[in-house]
Amino acid sequence: METVSLWILKSAPAWFVSWSFRKIFGKRNLQVFERILELPKWKKVSFDSPEKWIFEDDNSFVIEVSSKSRDFSERWTDHFPSKKSFAVEVLLKINGERVHTPLLFVGVDGRRYFVPCPKISEAYGGKYYYWDTQALEYRVFKVIGRVDYLFDSLDKFGESCGVKIK
């Protein structure tokens, strides 16, 4: 069933998908946003603060990077030439209203890379950092994230700084 629904999602016109999901689930539903994130029709429309991405076929779907940031440092951010890292909230909005609690993203190596803040888990007496491929943050990263300065994927970036992919 998952394969069929994904095929329908990718083959139907994007405007139809966004319209039908909003009709079925309502205007402020996170499930709608999650489905729309899978479509490749996102466009960065604001390069100043706050940065914004819109869904091209229905600009009521917006991903906004907050203009407020704070210094951030964890073991995994120290693997780069520039030790300067910052944390910032990413907001998901439909018609200007937030549909989820803010997501935490991190700018690493003097803002060359922009990735979701990894989760921390403990195993065998030690802790490790990881990104969950099923998490909302991972899907949002596919739209707004940056690791292309030296890496071709979040997986390769994670390998270089000790963050696992689950």
Q: Which domain holds residue 118?
A: 2-165
Cα–Cα distances in Å, from 118 out to 74, 82, 121? 10, 19, 10
Mean pLDDT of 35-63: 90
Mean pLDDT of 3-30: 64
pLDDT for 112-143, tens place per residue?
999 999 999 988 788 899 999 999 999 999 99
Cis, peptide link before residue 50, omega less than 30° from 0: yes
CA distance 17 to 92: 18
Residue 26 pLDDT > 60:
no
pTM for this predicted structure = 0.81
Residue 18 pLDDT > 70:
no
Contact 60, 95 (CB under 8 A): yes
How many domains would you assign to the chain?
1
The encoded tokens of residue 149 equal 């300065």
Q: What is the pLDDT of residue 22?
A: 61
Contact 19, 12 (CB under 8 A): no
